[in-house]
């Protein structure tokens, strides 16, 4: 059992602190008895006093739990009253133990001698009460912190799921438009082939947890499923060059993080070239970071400070939002002009190796 689970179990945690605290009290008194050279039998007095203190403070726990939500003035009144009464009674028990055991049955002539030095006992019980409320407030703070963290995590996951699932209808809309066009021009064979490839791709996207990251090798497999759909439309006009290092293949990336970038390259570059075009996909690991690059040889577009001018669609914005949600500021997303023509996208994320 770890420390956090022990803290969460309030009943067990209370008894652990209760017993440990009174053992500590007994130990301090034992050391003090050695300093003042008390006889060895005084050890029994110390143990009985600690045992009595341990038992007599247990009811305070239940009293304080009853008034936990009371006003501050009521809390203070009850705590001081209960501590005074308990401390006074404990002082009587301590005197009785001392006289009965250490002084061989001595009894004072006046009863109020039992109450002498009772304030010392009251101070100790007040300290016990303060520690009790301190621990309770600490547990309450930890509980609220865990609830806040859980709420933040749930919101974080919901945002990731929303961004990730946003890709499906976006891609599906574009693909269905392409299938509709093929049907209109009576290319039924290609339309059927595209529907078949589409079902394979959608099956993959639905079977992939949108929260978890996947190895880049698996992401490339998903990209190939998508590219097979596009090749039905473009045939030999679409060429893809892939250069991925062996180390980069094992890197974890958000699922379908490259798909909208490839989709934009096809939509705004390859589709506008009569002779077709080339998409280059590169990945390598450098300085404990994964560097991804997607470039095309299309007509390109106007950029201002690395931002698209008159940008439309959700692909680029979706990718940036997902990266921001997953990595906060520990990533980069850069758009630049490709050489000799086209557009290039560079991604940089922390390198996380997939566990086999």
Cα 75 to Cα 80, 81, 232, distances in angstroms: 9, 10, 76
What is the model's pTM?
0.56
Q: How far apart are CA 339 and CA 342, in angstroms?
A: 7
Would you mind telling me the total number of residues written for the chain in this entry?
Answer: 356
pLDDT at 265: 84
d(CA 184, CA 180): 6
Give every CB contact of residue 80 below 8 A, 6+ residues apart in sequence.
Answer: 126
The reported pLDDT for the residue numbered 57 is 92
- In this prediction, residue 243 carries a pLDDT of 93
For residue 282, list its beta bridge partners. 243, 293
User: CA torsion 193→196→198→200, rounded to 10°?
Assistant: -140
What does the pLDDT profile of the chain (356 residues) look like in tens digits? 555 555 567 788 888 888 999 999 989 888 888 877 777 788 888 899 899 999 999 999 999 988 888 888 988 999 999 999 998 888 888 888 877 787 776 666 666 666 666 788 889 999 999 999 988 888 888 877 877 676 566 656 655 555 555 555 656 776 788 788 778 877 788 788 888 877 887 787 777 766 778 899 988 888 888 888 778 777 778 888 999 999 999 999 988 788 888 888 887 788 778 787 889 999 999 989 999 999 888 776 766 555 665 555 566 777 888 888 788 888 999 888 877 778 888 999 999 998 86
Please say whether the structural domain 167-348 has been given the CATH code 3.30.565.10.
Answer: yes
Pairwise CA distance, residues 94 & 115, whole Å: 10
Contact 319, 306 (CB under 8 A): no
The string of DSSP codes covering 139-207 is HHHHHHHHHHHHHHHHHHHHHHHHHHHHHHHHHHHHHHHHHHHHHHTT-HHHHHHHHHHHHHHHHHHHH
Give residue 281's pLDDT. Answer: 93
What pLDDT is attached to residue 11? 81
From 205, 121, 194, 192, select the one nearest 161 (Cα to Cα). 205
The residues spanned by each domain of the chain are 1-158, 167-348
Helix (H, G, I), strand (E, B) or coil at 352: coil
Q: How confident is the model at residue 262, as a pLDDT?
A: 86
Residue found by looking up tokens 């509980």 in the block: 143
Task: Quote the pLDDT of residue 7.
Answer: 57
Q: What's the confidence (pLDDT) of residue 264?
A: 81
What is the tally of helices (H) and strands (E) in the chain?
10, 9
Which of 334, 263, 344, 261 shows the shortest CA–CA distance to 301? Answer: 344
Element (H, E) at 296: strand 289-296
């Amino acid at each position: 059992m770890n420390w956090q689970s022990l803290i969460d179990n309030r009943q067990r945690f209370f008894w652990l602190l209760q017993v440990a605290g009174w053992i500590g009290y007994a130990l301090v008194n034992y050391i003090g008895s050695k300093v003042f050279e008390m006889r060895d039998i005084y050890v029994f007095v110390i143990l009985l006093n600690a045992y009595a203190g341990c038992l007599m403070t247990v009811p305070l726990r239940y009293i304080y739990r009853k008034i936990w939500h009371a006003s501050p003035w009521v809390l203070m009144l009850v705590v001081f009253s209960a501590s005074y009464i308990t401390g006074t009674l404990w002082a009587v028990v301590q005197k009785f133990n001392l006289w009965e055991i250490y002084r061989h049955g001595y009894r004072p002539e006046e009863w109020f001698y039992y109450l002498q030095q009772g304030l010392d006992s009251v101070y100790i019980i007040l300290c016990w009460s303060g520690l009790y409320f301190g621990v309770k407030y600490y547990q309450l703070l930890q509980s609220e912190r865990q609830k806040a963290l859980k709420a933040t995590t749930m919101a974080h996951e919901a945002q990731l799921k929303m961004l990730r699932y946003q890709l499906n209808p976006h891609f599906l809309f574009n693909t269905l438009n392409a299938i509709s066009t093929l049907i209109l021009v009576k290319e039924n064979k290609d339309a059927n082939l595209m529907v078949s490839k589409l079902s394979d791709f959608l099956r993959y996207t639905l079977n992939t947890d949108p929260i978890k990251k996947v190895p880049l090798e698996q992401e490339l497999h998903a990209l190939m499923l998508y590219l097979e759909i596009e090749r039905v439309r473009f045939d030999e006009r679409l060429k893809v060059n892939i250069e991925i290092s062996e180390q980069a293949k094992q890197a974890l990336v958000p699922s379908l993080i490259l798909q909208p970038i490839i989709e934009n390259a096809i939509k705004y570059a390859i589709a506008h070239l009569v002779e077709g075009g080339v998409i280059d996909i590169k990945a390598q690991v450098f300085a404990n970071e994964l560097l991804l690059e997607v470039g095309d040889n299309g007509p390109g577009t106007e950029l201002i400070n690395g931002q698209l001018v008159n940008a439309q669609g959700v692909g680029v914005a979706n990718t940036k939002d997902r990266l921001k949600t997953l990595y906060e500021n520990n990533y980069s997303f850069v758009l630049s002009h490709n050489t000799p023509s086209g557009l290039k996208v560079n991604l940089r994320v922390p390198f996380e190796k997939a566990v086999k």
